[in-house]
Amino acid sequence: MSAQPSPRSNLLQTLLLVTVLYLGFMLFFGPRNSAPPRELSAVQTAYDKALKERDWQKVSIEGYELALRLEGQTEGLSGVELQTKRAEVFEIKYQAADAKIKYGEAVGDYNEIVNGHTELGALAIEAKGTPAEVKAKARANEAIEIGKVVAKRSASSLIRFGYNVIDFLVGLTGRVPGLSYWLACLLLAIVVRAIAWPLATKQYVSFKRMALLQPLIKELQEKHQGQELQAQTMKLYQKYGINPFAGCWPILIQMPFFFWIYSCMRAYQFEFHNGTFLWISKTGAAAAPGIVAPNLGEKDVPLIILYGISMVVTSIISVHDPTNARQARMIGIVMGVLFSVMMLFWPLPSAFILYWIGINVVSTFQTFWLRTKPIPPLVETAGGGKTNGFFKGLTPKEGPTGMLDRTERKTGAPAIHKPKGKKKK
């Protein structure tokens, strides 16, 4: 009886993990109005009071709720009444976004300035053709300059270092709007992947060596179950000196690096407003507002879709074990689609998406290159499977002895290489 989880079970586990990540994302970035409903007059009073007291943090919160309430009153209106009500809503949205910028400038909160700028951009699209559009665009341009100052002043030394690295890469080609900024993203992707190359190689080799043991593990699963199966499986890993978690460590080690790069590129976000890339331009944004970004500092939907495609392709190509290839491909497709959908609701600068596409391209190249190299053969460890380090203390104490030798004689696995001077069993 096999203890291996079915493809459907693994897929459900993956969907559950993504759901948890999405709920966590919504917890921090979702709707901000979670308090019990209040009367419209109470919200209006709280907003007016915060505006009078110049409590910018409260102005942004109360203004957000007040604008939503007033938008609900526009249904059924037309003509002058509708225009008047919409102008009132636009003004409150402007004040709420402007309050974020003022609050961020006062306390040195760069993220609040970025959020205020993003809301002004959305307002400019919504209020197209009205005085509110001009007002929102003008304030958004001012927010860019404010954000640049705050980013340099409030960032940690580590983020400032990354900021300067990105700025150096941009300066290599003369800060040309249509070339320097997107090229810097790709150069950064190449540099980062080159640093992580040894870890990724170790991860690939680990997965391939694990795949070589699958026929032996399958025979164990047919003979044992529960704790006995776990004990014998661990004993098999020890016998050939394989750490079943070795493929996970490279990923975990790279995670802090990933968040650092993201923080550095976000700190450089307003500088990326000077850059364009193929369709990402003011002309493209005018043709498809809210879909195509006017610059590399704002969210671009086509680029997010392209990222999803690159993630799916990278996941499919990186399948190591042919016994569960179909399952791995399905998980790759699901993850690529779900992460792309999540990014649509997250105001990520398109420069960061472009950087991550570059990472996926270089990763795919590395996978193809590694496939041309021989994988170190499985060799029995000296001392009959007694290992130190990670496996120290994990030697199973239950289960029959000598079973592994019998299993190896019957297995259909590829020949296992052994040190010279030992006979094959």
**pLDDT tens sequence across 397-421:** 433 333 333 333 334 444 444 454 5
403 occurs within a structural domain: no
Same domain, 91 and 233: no
Distance CA 206, CA 40 (A): 61
In this structure, of 217-221, 271-275, 406-410, 415-419, the range with the lowest mean pLDDT score is 406-410
Show the domain range for 201.
7-28+173-371
37 occurs within a structural domain: yes
Distance CA 124, CA 43 (A): 24
Write out pLDDT tens, residues 174-214. Answer: 889 989 999 999 999 898 888 877 777 777 777 777 777 77
Same domain, 200 and 138: no
Task: Give residue 202's region: left, alpha or beta (phi > 0; psi -120 to 50).
Answer: alpha
121 occurs within a structural domain: yes
pLDDT at 362 over 50: yes
What is the DSSP track for 48-83? HHHHHHT-HHHHHHHHHHHHHHHHGGGTT--HHHHH
Q: Which two tokens stand for residue 285?
A: 């944004």
CB 224 within 8 A of CB 232: yes
What's residue 19's pLDDT? Answer: 58
Same domain, 199 and 274: yes
Q: What is the CATH number of the domain that holds 136?
A: 1.25.40
The total domain count for the chain is 2
410 occurs within a structural domain: no
Distances (CA, A) of 281 to 7, 271, 288: 44, 15, 11
Q: Closest Cα to residue 58, out of 100, 94, 27?
A: 100
What's residue 407's pLDDT? Answer: 37
pLDDT cut 90: percent of the chain above it: 16
Q: Which of these three, 371, 391, 406, is where a domain ends?
A: 371
Same domain, 79 and 105: yes
What's residue 310's pLDDT? Answer: 84
318 occurs within a structural domain: yes
407 occurs within a structural domain: no
Query: Is the overall model pTM greater than 0.85, yes or no?
Result: no
399 occurs within a structural domain: no
251 occurs within a structural domain: yes
